[in-house]
Amino acid sequence: MTFMSKPLKKKLLVAGWVLALFLIAALGGYAVASTQRILPRVQVGSLAIGGLTREQALMAVRQRLTEFQEQGIALKINGDREVIQLQDIGFSASPEAVVDTAWAFGHAGPWYAMITDHVMAMLMPQSFSAPVQYNQEALESSIDDIAQIIEKPSRDIRLHIQGTAVGVLYDTQPGKIVDRVRAAQLVVRALGQLEATDITLALVDD
């Protein structure tokens, strides 16, 4: 059986206390700093605003919303690219509400929940969907307008008959249509991400 000498035990004890004090100081500094800022690794949609003050986050969100409104969301279907303008679907979002969504993580709720949020923020990124408003009927109408430009109608078989000879001019072909439900789901997801992205869809059989 091996015994540690008293000097070694003393050194290990001192090292342990130093490490504990360092961790306490680091966590204390982190806690104080995070009371004035959104927790690190927090993002709303695709916009990373972790570590920012409320004022800094508001500036970042306002800029993103301006860019988002200008660019819109594009549907790429069968080689065609059609843009849904956000004003046409009644899109709106409050910068303050977006920032509040991020701020609430680690700053609101019971103490044990806030502690859990702080730990989670240190371990992995935290992403939240932005609170946005839009008109569902207007969105469906915009998608329908785009679909009517791109969709291909079904075609019945057409025969060429000359005397007793029968030839096939072209065979039956199913129509190709836009999956409107899927398109709407992807647009709504992009709205919550505050991301002017191209959404790629394939035509499906009618």
From CA 201, how far away is CA 79, in angstroms rounded?
Answer: 10
Read out DSSP for 108-174? SS-HHHHHHHHHHHHHS-EEE----B--HHHHHHHHHHHHHHH-B--B--EEEEETTEEEEEE--B-
Least confident of 14-23, 35-44, 54-63: 14-23
Task: Look at 160 and 43; give whichever has higher pLDDT.
Answer: 43
Long-range contacts of 179-188 (CB under 8 A, 24+ apart): 179/204, 180/140, 180/143, 180/144, 180/147, 183/75, 183/143, 183/147, 184/136, 184/139, 184/140, 184/143, 187/73, 187/75, 187/84, 187/139, 187/143, 188/134, 188/139
First and final C-alpha spacing in the chain: 80
Q: Is pLDDT at 32 greater than 70 in this prediction? A: no
94 compared with 18, residue with greater pLDDT: 94
Quote the pLDDT of residue 77: 86
Contact indicator for 105, 75 with CB cutoff of 8 Å: no
**What's the chain's average pLDDT?**
81
User: Read out DSSP for 94-119?
Assistant: -HHHHHHHHHHTTTSS-HHHHHHHHH
Q: What is the pTM of this model?
A: 0.72
Q: What percent of the chain has pLDDT over 90?
A: 48
The whole-number pLDDT of residue 5 equals 59
Output DSSP code: residue 14: H
Beta-strand pair 126-128/42-44: parallel
Half-sphere exposure (Cβ direction) of 112: Cα atoms closer than 13 Å: 0
